[in-house]
Amino acid sequence: MKASLKWAMILSIAVALSACSSKSDKENTSAMSGNGAMAAGVGGNPEFEDSEDARMAKILGIEKNTVYFDFDKDVIKAEYMPILDANANYLKKHPNARILIAGNADPRGSREYNIGLGQRRADVVRQRLTMMGVNANQMRTVSYGSEKPAVPGNDEYAYSQDRRDDITYEVEG
């Protein structure tokens, strides 16, 4: 348990550091890769590139383990299926691997509503991975509601980055 808390803290630091990017919103928005995975805050960030999450992303062949959602929705968009496919394939090949799916929401709405929305988002990703053959015991979910914004600010760009599920691998300790 202590090891998974350690990795959760490392991920939180990596997210916070990537949120401090000096790029403008316009530059970050244009950082979309061809498959829709956000690359903003990942490339060129030595703290992320040296992290366990970066190594896992390289193993999985993806930029980042994040699924973004539309406003007030918990529907997985097709552009994020490659992320889920890569994670499902890895988890099926490594039955001892465990992930945490953290659901998040933007700050619009009550605290209770945002916690519920974040949980629905985490649950829909877990259900999809289960349908892809991942053992349910390899996954756990949590909702942070709007308590852990990815990007500071109260504009549409910041909100779009907050409407997400972050998938992190837990290390057994």
Q: What is the CATH number of the domain that holds 116?
A: 3.30.1330.60
Tell me the mean pLDDT in the region 86-92: 95
pTM of this prediction?
0.68
CB 163 within 8 A of CB 106: yes
β-strands 98-104, 139-145: how paired?
A: parallel
Tell me the mean pLDDT in the region 102-107: 98
Task: Pick 118 or 12 by higher pLDDT.
Answer: 118
Q: Give the per-residue pLDDT at 57.
A: 66
Does residue 43 register a pLDDT over 60?
A: no
Mean pLDDT of the chain: 77
Tell me the mean pLDDT in the region 149-170: 95
Does residue 82 register a pLDDT over 90?
A: yes
Domain count within the chain: 1
State the burial class of residue 27 (Cβ atoms within 10 Å of its Cβ: 0-12, 13-18, 19+).
exposed
Q: Give the per-residue pLDDT at 53.
A: 62
Range of the domain at 80: 2-170
